[in-house]
Structure 1
């Protein structure tokens, strides 16, 4: 059972080298997002999830970005990372569901099954293509997000948001669909919902102070 309302989900994350990359600050950002209408938040790392869990009651989509040698998969790359995210208090576990080689020889279908059976949590599959989305749904994923469209070798020349990918998933697959990636205005978020997304994730455009200030600075000074 997916306990996830339809609407705006705010991704509250910060670069590791940013002063904002602090559990207390991330939890404050999440709380501010919820106070102003976010129906859920998307949070990276167990420490941050734990801090946010103490501040908000809305669903937390949890993940753990980890770079592992020999694999390009970095969003909750293994069951071990999923278990840590669950233990920290996430309600939904987000995992990379692209067809790229996974570390530790784990199979996507096995990770999803273990999350369901052992952790008792629904899975959000972060995909880049329709083929990956279809496979993820067949493997048991409860939610599909367009998160990795434009960020993999297969989609490197496709700038997000993936409107065509979103539309095809909505039309062809019977699943809860989240549009994520490249949403930079309220108008774009509304378009995602109008195209059939059940929810839309906005990150940098709301919480990405480091990237936003840098972009202003670079344009003004050049």
Structure 2
């Protein structure tokens, strides 16, 4: 089985800025000796949750598909989860949201008079890293996406959100890896008044964000190493 489940929720696939951050983290985890199962929601057909709640009685999803046969067994045994997504309307992408919703089968639900209590079904807790990319500059813009990741972590993983890395002001495809010439052209067409200092500052911020993705992976690797030593 795998140590880590890494999921890209960008409809742009490998060209998405959030996927670029995810790829950096996956590469670093692999360098540190951890095994990673990578899943691209843009390339993998995973049906959304049907909301039938049959899993409440049976503990098994009625959809006998790739998620049930492959993803869920990997999730059950792994020690960490990576989620990446662009921020759309303050939330994660439709692709990642559909993926997260399927984990209803991994949650124990107890209905009480005043509340509903949700706990993970699987005993092995998993810490989570989140990687977001957004065109907006404001930090508040990804608040809904972060809430979705926190709910997934609490309900299905039983661990902690170890780190959240956000690339801001990156509406352009592959903007985190774009060169100076293409960046200047895009901003000029968009009507942005640019100068050398502004471009330099932007490119520096991209490198800082990618570095934070690498350090987040190292933080997760440390957490997994501790967990594996105590099993």
TM-score by length of 1: 0.31
TM-score by length of 2: 0.31
**Larger RCO: Structure 1 or Structure 2 (Cα < 8 Å, ≥ 6 residues apart)?**
2
Structure exhibiting the larger radius of gyration computed from Cα positions: 2
Q: Which has the higher helix share?
A: 2
